[in-house]
Amino acid sequence: MLHESVRRIGVFGGTFDPPHLGHLVAASEATFRCGLDEVVFVPTGDPWQKHHLDVTRASGRLAMTRLAVGSDPLFRISTCDIDRDGPTYAIDTVADVRAEYDHEVDLYFILGADSLENLHTWHRVEELCKAVKFIALNRPGYSRKDVDTSFGVDVQFIDMPAVDVSSTECRQRVRDGEPVRYLLPRPVGEYIAEHALYRD
């Protein structure tokens, strides 16, 4: 009897405020380089590490993420972090995404390589490291090969194409009246304009 191989699922959490082309390139590159079957975009609900920032309402960020992902068959969206009450922690995200499948899956948590420097501060990090493997994106200017593995982190580094764009930059360009046409998926840019986001 043939057994279906275990699917490899990428978990890509983020504020996505707004989702830009760099996010899509990152997900695509992780899929290709690491042989993922699917990448799940998970917009944060209450991002505990960004309480000091003015974050767009979850409904708006979710709408923009849906527009960004579009109909790509390799991408899907989970609303688990938005649906859950309380702060957003990666360990809860991973558990909820795993529960969305009715079969066994291997989960790969996608993050920027620079984020690994603070991984030891994450909520229940040792438990998280047992639940997932990590895909760390070496972005331009942020290459981190030396990682503290004392708490059991299993990480694969991949190099990102040079897509030098950030959500912070996109928000500022909108505030300043500068073009974001080729930094964002077109439907996301149209949504921002329609809803007058990021304008003081």
User: What tens digit of pLDDT does each residue of 120-178 get?
Assistant: 899 999 999 999 999 999 876 666 666 666 667 899 999 988 888 999 999 999 999 99
Closest CA to 123 of 18, 20, 46, 41: 46
pLDDT tens for 25-54 read 999 999 999 999 999 999 998 765 555 468
Supply the mean pLDDT for the chain.
90
| Count of beta carbons in the 10 Å neighbourhood of residue 1 | 2
Question: Which candidate, 18, 15, 14, places its Cα nearest to that of 174?
Answer: 18
Q: Is the peptide bond before 43 cis (omega within 30 degrees of 0)?
A: no
Band (pLDDT 50/70/90 cuts) for residue 5 is confident
Using only C-alpha atoms, the chain has a radius of gyration, in whole angstroms, of 17
Token pair belonging to 42: 């998970």
pTM: 0.92
Burial 127-139 (b: 16+ CB within 10 A, else e): ebbeebebbbbbb
pLDDT the model gives residue 2: 44
Mark out the alpha helices in the chain (DSSP H runs). Answer: 21-34, 58-69, 80-83, 90-99, 125-131, 167-175, 186-194
When pLDDT is cut at 50, 70 and 90, the band that residue 200 belongs to is confident
Tens digits of per-residue pLDDT, 75-115? 999 999 999 998 889 999 999 999 999 999 999 999 988 88
